[in-house]
Amino acid sequence: MLKKILIIFVLVIGFNTVFADEGMFPLNELNHIDYNKLKKMGLNLSYDQIRNDISKAVVSLGGGTGSFVSEDGLIITNHHVAYRAIQYNSSAKHNYIKEGFYADSFEKELPAPGYYADIVLDIVDVTKRIKSKLNDKMTDKERYQAIEDEIKKIEKETESKEKNIRASVVAFYGGKQFLLFKKFRIQDIRLVYAPPESIGAFGGDIDNFEWPRHDGDFSFLRAYVDKNGNPAPYSKDNVPYHPKHFLKISLKPLKNGDFAFILGFPGHTDRYMTGEQIDSFLNESIPLKLRLFNDIINMMEQEGGKNPELQVKVAFWVKALNNTKKYYEGVQAGLKRDKVVEKFKKRDKEIAKWIEKNKKLAMYKNAIPEMNNINRKVTKIEKTLTIMAYSNFVSTFGAGATIGRWAEEKQKPDLKRDPNFMDRNIPRIKRRLITMQKDLIPELDKKMLTYFMERFADLPENERPETFKKYFGNGTKEQLYSKIEKTIDNFYKNTKLTDKDTRLKYFEMSEKQLKKVNDKLLHFAWDFADELKEKRDNLKGLNGAVMRIKPRVIEVINKFTKKELYPDANSTLRLTYGKICGYSPKDAVWYKPFTTLKGAIEKETGKEPFANPKKLIKLYKEKDFGQYYDKNLKGVPVDFLTDNDTTGGNSGSPTLNGKGEIIGLLFDGNFESISSDYYFNPDLTRSIVVDSRYILFILDKFSNAQKLIKELTIVK
């Protein structure tokens, strides 16, 4: 919940539709890129071919990207994007995380609940309709609510009128433009192939975001539909989906300087903060998040260390949280290295002086000060909101919150509900209440909930949530710690939220019925959820103010710096272009753009995460490389670097040559450039890609996945 609040708070608005090379370009604005420039770099496709053909093979997997690579709905993506499906189907007896997985027939493919594949069919500009609902007499809160209400109407109308369409309206340039995305959402996704973790995540958290990498970060999924070709939930009667477009995989040699373009769904960037905003983010928000991540990871690892079954249960969240933790560590390091706070504050002061000297700029005088004033208000409550939101990592607590909120929301007409609880989202919520059982550990839940309540006890009394005070009272943190532990222990002795069938039973109850249920953990979570909603509603006025003020902030920064503007990432389909190239992370150091299998063997320690599979070592020693050996690199290529501008959500994005053939899958950025989500440094920003030749080498020589290889269209 907090993430959504903060995304709204830091919305960036641009006005001049001129793009910098580092931009992530929406497909409806490709004509703003100099086509001749890309053609000289190596692009052999027209923009229409990219929009109408290539992009239709690229899908959003909900937090990651994939692409169709066969006429039978085969999807290639990252191992870490498919990791949840791998973990869901694993057990101590059949540990597909460690062993890998390969289904050599449709019947052996495993369900991946919670996954979906969105194909963008059409993009419609609905800006005029939404802005027709706004007027200058509105308060900031009324403005925010009017936009949200109209978006809900557009999405519901679209889905009602057009069969099998998932609609989403997204703000571009922070509210200058609103686009309706019509998507074909495939609901039945299955796991087809995953290499063992010793290949798919070689180097683990140690190598994460680092270069050189030797990571075979790829997996395959498959999309299924009903016999009539319509989206449908998982069923044994479903059949593979037949996409109109799918991508070929290249086995051609690559070299430094080769052109590469990437299509994917980058999540979020925010490169136009004020100096005060970036200061708060760097010195208050990030340290709190890092502490929470560290502590949660430690609790999970301790629990997972008790036996193999528990280790499988915590595997997904440990991996995900470690990734997020290192992301924030990289952002922190990069912003400090580049002295971004100092640069932005200096810029803001110079802008103020510049405005004073130019009467034509009077309209911008209060823009940055007003934005800073909003930032101070948000900063005062951010710590409390962050802890409240992150407490939903506790599965049973989050389930109780969802059940309670649904009991309230279901009484309202669909268009009057919180967007998260509209009818179209209910099947997904119910599915999560079911699938959470797979990795539920009640004892860990209890420890984690106790931990979060202790963090509230650490806060000054006036910053503690009212719900916390209701259940634990007030006092010193030492006094509260003892009461918290005893109270939560009692909650878990008596709760039924740990039972799947009971959760679903609660979910179907009316608010009146649910209030009579004797389950204190349920009511505790419900009360917390209501308070969090109230705090979010109170922030709508600030969010509306941001949408009103931020355009002037961005415009005056643009006028002062004379830099080009482009729309920040917002989880919509984007194109970035660049080339294969290395970089210098520090004085006297130069990183080459390619790694080979030799490097993975050189990292071998015999212990995770640097323990190569014995068969891979054998292939290397016997030089059994087949057609995958690169004479120029003198080895089997593994990963390579490009200077494409990418971020979270791009994971699994196809990296393509000038003909639109897959030359690799993007899976990471380098540590030195993680902060580019906020301050772009072209000298250091690189994307890390697993080479398509390594993917084919592993499929062929290591896994002997011949049926899968035959399904692919490979070009030499």
Q: What is the DSSP string of 312-342?
A: HHHHHHHHHHHHHHHHHHHHHHHHHHTTHHH
- Structure tokens given for 432: 């999560």
Catalytic residue among 280, 285, 651, 673: 651
**Over residues 52-76, mean pLDDT:** 97
Whether 451 is covered by a domain: the verdict is: yes
Please indicate, yes or no, if residue 156 is contained in any of the structural domains: no
Residue 499's alpha-carbon distances to 400, 492, 699, in angstroms, are: 12, 12, 40
Give the residues across from 580 on adjacent strands: 642
Q: Are residues 328 and 233 in the same domain?
A: no
Mean pLDDT across 82-88 = 97
262 plus 337 within the same structural domain: no
pLDDT at 564: 65
pLDDT exceeds cutoff 90 at 156 = yes
Q: In this predicted structure, what is the pLDDT of residue 173?
A: 82
Per the structure, the count of domains in the chain is: 2
pTM of the model: 0.91
Same structural domain for residues 441 and 580?
no
Q: Check residues 226 and 175 and name the one with the higher pLDDT.
A: 226
- Per-residue pLDDT, 168: 97
Report if residue 141 sits inside a domain. Answer: no
Do 597 and 710 fall into the same domain?
yes
Are both 528 and 591 inside the same structural domain?
no
In the chain, the percentage of residues whose pLDDT exceeds 70 is: 97
Q: Are residues 574 and 495 in the same domain?
A: no
Contact 581, 642 (CB under 8 A): yes
Name the DSSP letter for residue 50: H
Across the chain, mean pLDDT equals 94
How does residue 15 score in pLDDT terms, banded at 50, 70 and 90? very low
What's the 3-state SS for 381-450?
A: HHHHHHHHHHHHHCHHHHHHHHHHHHHHHCCCCHHHCCHHHCHHHHHHHHHHHHHHHHHCCHHHHHHHHH
Q: Cα–Cα distance between 292 and 281 in angstroms, integer? A: 15
Residue 559 has pLDDT above 70, yes or no: yes
pLDDT score, position 554:
83
Residue 20 has pLDDT above 60, yes or no: no
Predicted confidence (pLDDT) at residue 159 exceeds the cutoff of 50? yes
Residues 465 and 518 grouped into a single domain: yes
What band does 254 get if pLDDT is binned at 50, 70 and 90? very high
Q: Quick check: is 168 catalytic?
A: no
Query: Strand pairing partners for 639?
Result: 690
How many helices (H) and strands (E) in the chain? 26, 21
pLDDT exceeds cutoff 70 at 443: yes
What is the structure's pLDDT at 4?
35
637 CB contacts (<8 Å, ≥6 apart)?
Answer: 254, 594, 595, 596, 628, 630, 691, 693, 694
Query: Does residue 565 carry a pLDDT above 80?
Result: no
Mean per-residue pLDDT, 573-583: 96
- Report helix, strand or coil for 122: strand
DSSP assignments along 624-662, one per residue: --GGG-BTTTTB-EEEEEE-----TT-TTPEEE-TTS-E
339 in any annotated domain: yes
Judge residue 408's burial from the number of C-beta atoms within 10 Å of its C-beta, 0-12 exposed, 13-18 middle, 19 or more buried: middle
Same domain, 232 and 336: no
Domain final residue, candidates 544, 578, 610: 544
For 611, the token pair is 């323990």
Least confident segment among 9-23, 31-45, 367-381, 487-501: 9-23
Intra-chain end-to-end CA distance of the chain, in Å = 48
What range does the domain containing 411 cover? 275-544
Q: Are residues 508 and 377 in the same domain?
A: yes
In the predicted structure, residue 451 carries a pLDDT above the cut 90 = yes
Q: Is 335 exposed, middle or buried (0-12, 13-18, 19+ CB in 10 A)?
A: buried
- Residue 465 domain-assigned (yes or no): yes
Lowest mean pLDDT among 182-196, 544-558, 609-623: 544-558
Question: Could you tell me if residue 124 is inside a domain?
Answer: no
Q: How confident is the model at residue 198 (pLDDT cuts 50, 70, 90)?
A: very high
The backbone torsions φ and ψ at residue 99, rounded to the nearest 5 degrees and listed phi first, read -90, -25
What pLDDT does 32 receive?
A: 82
CA atoms within 13 A on the CB side of 695: 30
Which of 414, 596, 399 has its CA nearest to residue 500? 399
Which of 491, 510, 544 terminates a domain? The answer is: 544
The answer to whether the CB of 519 falls within 8 A of the CB of 404 is: no
Task: Name the active-site residue from 80, 348, 519, 691.
Answer: 80
Give the confidence band of 558 by pLDDT, cuts at 50, 70, 90: confident
On whether both 229 and 378 belong to a single domain, the answer is no
Q: Mark whether 651 is an active-site residue.
A: yes
Look at residue 367 and give its three-state secondary structure: helix
Q: For position 12, what pLDDT does the model report? A: 31
Catalytic-labelled residue, pool 188, 217, 258, 338? 217
Domain boundary among 476, 509, 544: 544
Burial of 259 (0-12, 13-18, 19+ CB in 10 A): buried
d(CA 124, CA 110): 36
Instruction: Give the H/E segment covering residue 297.
Output: helix 286-304
Residue 21 in this model has a pLDDT that exceeds 70 = no
Do the Cβ atoms of 161 and 152 come closer than 8 Å? no
In the prediction, which pLDDT does 689 show? Answer: 98
Residue 479 reports pLDDT greater than 60:
yes
Q: Is 48 a catalytic residue?
A: no
pLDDT at 6: 35
Q: Is 516 left (phi over 0), alpha (psi -120 to 50) or beta?
A: alpha
* CA nearest neighbour of 398 among 534, 310, 522, 537: 522
Whether 86 is covered by a domain: the verdict is yes
* Over residues 188-206, mean pLDDT: 97
C-alpha 667/C-alpha 64 separation (Å) is 10
Average pLDDT over residues 431-448: 96
Residue pLDDT, tens place only, 393-424: 899 999 999 999 999 999 999 999 999 999 99
Q: Which residues pair with 664 in a beta bridge?
A: 655, 691
Query: Burial, 17: exposed, middle or buried (Cβ in 10 Å; 0-12, 13-18, 19+)?
Result: middle
pLDDT of residue 174: 75
Cβ neighbours of residue 473 closer than 8 Å, sequence gap 6 or more: 480, 483
Q: Are 116 and 61 in contact (CB under 8 A)?
A: yes
Do 436 and 355 sit in the same domain of this protein?
yes
177, containing H or E segment: strand 177-186
Identify the three-state secondary structure at position 38: helix
pLDDT score for 547? 85
For the stretch 309-343, pLDDT in tens is 999 999 999 999 999 999 999 999 999 999 999 99
Q: Break the chain down into helix, strand, coil percent, rounded to 5.
A: 55, 15, 35
pLDDT category at 9 given cuts 50, 70, 90 is: very low
CA distance 212 to 233: 41
Instruction: Mark whether 370 and 329 lie in a shared domain.
Output: yes
Query: Of the candidates 277, 275, 281, which has an alpha carbon nearest to the alpha carbon of residue 346?
Result: 275
Report the distance separating Cα 30 and Cα 41, nearest Å. 16
Distance of alpha carbon 374 from alpha carbon 371, whole angstroms: 5
Is pLDDT at 475 greater than 70 in this prediction? yes
The average pLDDT across 97-122 equals 97
Does 17 map to a domain?
no
